[in-house]
Structure 1
Amino acid sequence: MVTFESLGIEEGLLQSLQKIGFKTPTPIQEQAIPVLLQGTKDFIGLAQTGTGKTAAFGLPLLQLINKAFVSPQALIICPTRELCLQIANDLQSFKPENGNVHVTAVYGGTAISQQIREIRRGTHIVVATPGRLIDLIERKAINLNDIHYVVLDEADEMLNMGFKDDIEFILKETPNRQSTWLFSATMPKEIRQVSKRYMENPFEITVGKANSVNVNIAHQYYQTQHINRYETLKRIIDFNPGLYGIIFTRTKADAQHITEQLIREGYDIEALHGDLTQAQRDKVMARFREKSLELLIATDVAARGIDVQGITHVINYELPDDTEVYTHRSGRTGRAGLSGISISIVTPKELYRLRQIEKLVNTKFNKIDIPSGKDVCRKQFFHFIDKMLNADISHGEYEAYVPVLKEKFEAVTKEEVLQRVAALEFDRFLRYYENSADLNLRNDKGDRKGDRDASRDNRNRSRGNGQYQRLFVNLGTKDGFYKASFLQFILDMSRLNKEQLGRIDMKEMNSWVEVEADAARIMIKALDGKNYRGRRIRMNDAEAGGRRR
């Protein structure tokens, strides 16, 4: 049996691992640690989230640094504040009690002055988000001359968020590094380009199949019409009492709108999106981690780096446009060896994209019937009965109330008591679902027809069938966009719905967007002439005045 000791981890770290319950290394730790302990090899590790990557690079760093020399020697770059704090906390738990190793987290959304003071007091390992680190570099508040080890964690997410230039800037500012370690769930061409430019003959390992998803996650989909998408979401939530999960939307407008609807109908849910201040975001995440909030609705950008243990479900209110984003969404559940469920709500037009995701992640998605109203009520009823039977009555002086209860219920049969309890608990469900419609699509020829319809619709859009107007915009991948983030940006700016858009073609400098003809003027008005990162946006009719590449 492989142990941390057999991998070369020193005694002090072994004692810490024993205290926190780490018994045997995960596959990524088993393969990465012996290589990284050499301290001189560039390294690429491809593995999904939740596989133990932090310990895979954190333990070698804690062992390699010179504890007697109090200066930043290792730098860990990650995409979000949440992940930054999580990594720093993990390293604190890994280090020996008397190891005298200092770890400092630097990130945006909080006072930079305090972080500068912590760095000046002395530190060995700095965990940072790209923007805040560059701010510190430009203020000359951090010295990177002694950095020997640079770790890029969640590299694909950082590039998706537009940090490519920032990463390259940081790598140029660490000229004396002995090795660069890159960890990522996927390997898009942009990461391959960075590795070729800044790494020398990297040792590369892949844990699990490339682009595969966690085997502990069950992938399911519910098929319905677009008009029934929200009702389908409610059925899924109601049919899974005790669900602890994240609902993903494409835009922050959708996230806020759906949250407000669910709150009005009595659901305990909060939204996580880009309009929240850092204090508001921290408050929402604290409630979610404490499970005082069981449902969180988020955009892909807002959810970057969320690592919360015990999430049972991920629900894709809509499929992401970028198929690789699906692995990041689904990876929020099924972590640390636990099982999880990733659910997608799809319309017939989205079946083609679902099949693309299946091919990418090499996993079959199971079609599930949308539960009927009676199914929901039955599931909720038995959940309540089980909860009541398992209630802890060992605390409290309930015996004092028993005589009064017996007197009150003397003329009431057991069956009537149960009926009254059910009425009190399930009146809302019974009323709501009493005459509920069947939300399933009934198609005798199965889903293949839906696939063909979706493919035909795709081809019609490509040719242009007169329903869509093609718009040109001078924004592209060079502006830090990928397809999903670009879609979210233009929808947020225009306040249009995803269903009003057709095909999106992105190039380095420009993009083309198909919009329903009656909505095209709204989008042009919303974007044309506005500024994005200091550059004036130009949007117009592609046929009338837009350039083609």
Structure 2
Amino acid sequence: METKTDFTQLGLSEETLRTIAAKGFETPTPIQKLSIPVLIHEQCDIIAQAQTGTGKTAAFGLPIIEKLSTNANQNVKALILVPTRELALQVTDEIISFRGKRDINVITLYGGQSISEQQRRLRRGADVVVGTPGRILDLLKRNDLILDDLEWGVLDEADEMLNMGFIEDIEAILSHTPEQKRMLLFSATMPDRIVKLASKFMKSPKKLTVGSQTRTTDLADQIYFEVRKADKFDALTRIIDIEPEFYGLVFCRTRVDVDELSSRLLERGYSSEGLHGDISQAQREKTLKKFRNKFINILVATDVAARGIDISDLSHVINYSLPQDPDSYIHRIGRTGRAGKEGTAITFITPDEYRKFLFFQKTIKSNIRKEVLPNAQDIIEMKKLRIKEELQSIVESEGYMDYLGMAEGLLEVNSPEVALASLLRMAFKNQLEESSYAEVRSFKVDNKGTTRLFIALGKKDGMNPRKISSFIRDKVRVSDNKIDDIGVYDEFSFVSVPFADADAILKAFSSKTQGGKPLVTKAKSRS
């Protein structure tokens, strides 16, 4: 098959080809196509620039497994340094899965784990060590880790290790390694400090660059909202509420921000937890397990804490705080485009961040479009629709049988409408009242003289903001700039238009229906 031919051309052995076929690998990623032949057939060091989530572990892991010597000593032959415990565990699992039936011992070393147990594992012998710089350096100083026979040194996510302050530790670690080894450096960006590190410890490295910035953003629908700082929380909850199955990562700048936001979300009744550098490893692993299993659907994190999290089916990545630089923006939103699944990347922009955001747009060269937040009426309409769907599901499954007697008792003293309305009030309290939603103001708001229209077509009907605008203009002569605040959701859409144009639109669509209901109706004007 073509897939196997692709991997065969990279110079991998039959045993490795069988292993990766069993793993379900189909086609090599760009970084694998570039790196594997060089590492198999040449003897040079390499500097590979590639984004997170591009298959870098296989790019260096497969050649190391192929080329690792099988001499009898127990000293470490390959050292892979990574910035976080989570990534260390992931890389270890991948390397183990690559070895097939080969007798290669792989161990993980990181802080937060018993050092005495790690010492015992090292005494039993290890061919490949994957670890974080702090613990590796600690074990080197204790003479528990011997790197005299090292054949391969790998720096994975080198730029992130720089951001976390590990560069001095890395230099100290590399000073314990022999000169005759192959050095592999993988990094999404190449800051000057990383370049200097490479020039000091690498021998005429070959530079491999793959994946332009657009690679990590082309599967993300990128949106930004202009909101005031005080309105960010309410803006976030509106986005969560309007989405039928929100499953997202929310980025904050600091640990304090993460703690505050995750606490506010919990208080508001959302299933959320936070992740930052001060959280223990045990708690981190527990939180990530809950998030992967979707026991929680909102994970609030700092950039550093989120590194190494590899979850492929996120619906949203939200920049609650603007990242520090364009590269960080790309790292964040690239998480929505993994495994070929399109996601939505949302950024909140406050007035004082607008100039910086314009710089991001220019640098990234990607289409980030401005949208208007769903208003209270939009949220309420969505919630009402979900209530109807859930009630219908209960009716169809006959899940109401145990409550028939109680229902009959209520109907003896109340009309059906009053009984049902009272139950809805009890179940949803004030969730369906506009007064429960705080006003979220944009930078420049002028909503006077407009009418909000409800359109019974949404994403499931193939609609997007451009198509909604065309849909209206096909029936009514109204200019594009008068159709504003377009919100397109799964089942329906909203637009705001001037009063005079609203009357013309309603008249033009008066005979049109969708599912037996009017296709276009008047909603409450935004106040």
TM over 0.5: yes
Distance of 1:443 and 1:423 partners within structure 2: 33
Unaligned runs of 5+ in 2: 447-527
Q: TM-score, normalised by structure 1?
A: 0.73
The one-letter amino acid of 1:340's match is G
Q: Which residue, 435, 444, 454 being the options, matches 1:442?
A: 444
Q: Distance in 2 between matches of 1:33 and 1:139?
A: 35
Q: Secondary structure, in 3 states, of the residue corresponding to 1:331? A: helix
Q: Deviations over 1:446-498 (max 9, x none)?
A: xxxxxxxxxxxxxxxxxxxxxxxxxxxxxxxxxxxxxxxxxxxxxxxxxxxxx
Percent of aligned pairs sharing the same letter: 40
* Separation (CA, whole Å) in 1 of partners of 2:42 and 2:427: 61
Which position in structure 2 is the counterpart of 1:80? Answer: 84
Q: Deviations over 1:422-467 (max 9, x none)?
A: 65664442136556525333367xxxxxxxxxxxxxxxxxxxxxxx
Aligned equivalent of 1:458: none
Q: How many Å separate the matches in 1 of 2:188 and 2:361?
A: 16
Q: Are residues 1:377 and 2:380 paired?
A: yes
Give the 5 Å matches for 1:380-391: 380-383=383-386, 385-386=388-389
Partner of 1:132: 135
> Residues 169-199 of structure 1: CA distance to partner in whole angstroms, max 9, x if unpaired?
2222212443111111111111111122222
Residue 330 of structure 1: aligned partner: 333
Listed as ranges, the matches of 1:388-399 within 5 Å are none
Letter in 2 for 1:439: R
Asked if the contact 2:227–2:440 (Cα under 8 Å) also holds between the matched residues in 1, the reply is no
Aligned partner of 1:110 among 84, 108, 113: 113
User: 1:419–1:59: structure 2 CA closer, same or farther, 3 Å change rule?
Assistant: farther
1:221 pairs with 2:220 = no
Query: In 2 relative to 1, CA 438–60 (structure 1 residues): closer, same or farther, beyond 3 Å?
Result: same
Contact 2:247/2:316 (8 A) holds in 1: yes
Aligned to 2:509: none
- Name the amino acid aligned to 2:57: T
Of 414-423 and 237-246, deviating more is 414-423
CA distance in 2, matches of 1:234, 1:403: 36
Aligned: 1:91 with 2:95:
yes
TM-score for the superposition, normalised by structure 2: 0.76
CA distance 1:364–1:409, shift in 2 (3 Å):
same
Distance 1:146-1:221 versus aligned 2 partners, 3 A rule: same
CA RMSD of aligned residues (A): 2.9
Task: Report what 1:163 is aligned to.
Answer: 166
Tell me the equivalent position of 1:429: 431
CA contact (8 A) 1:40 1:178 kept: no
CA spacing shift, 1:22–1:374, aligned 2, 3 Å: same
Instruction: Using the TM superposition, give the Cα deviation of residue 352 of structure 1 relative to its aligned residue in structure 2, in angstroms.
Output: 0.9
* Counterpart secondary structure, 2:330: helix
Distance 1:206 1:392 in 2: 57
**Could you tell me which residue of structure 1 aligns to residue 282 of structure 2?**
279
Q: CA deviation at 1:126?
A: 0.6
Which residue among 251, 256, 277 is the counterpart of 2:259? Answer: 256
- Partner secondary structure for residue 309 of structure 1: coil
Tell me the secondary structure at the aligned position of residue 113 of structure 2.
coil
C-alpha distance in structure 2 between counterparts of 1:163 and 1:387, whole Å: 51
Compared CA separation, residues 171 and 264, structure 1 to 2 (3 A): same
- 1:357 paired residue among 356, 360, 366: 360
Q: Which residue of 2 is the match for residue 505 of structure 1?
A: none
Aligned to 1:459: none
What CA distance in whole angstroms lies between the structure 1 residues aligned with 2:403 and 2:273?
40
Q: List runs of 5+ in structure 1 lacking aligned partners.
A: 445-549
The alpha-carbon distance between structure 1 residues 405 and 233, as it changes in their structure 2 partners (threshold 3 A), is: same
| Residue in structure 2 matching 1:368, options 371, 378, 383 | 371
**Greater Cα radius of gyration, structure 1 or 2:** 2
Report SS of the residue matched to 2:373: coil
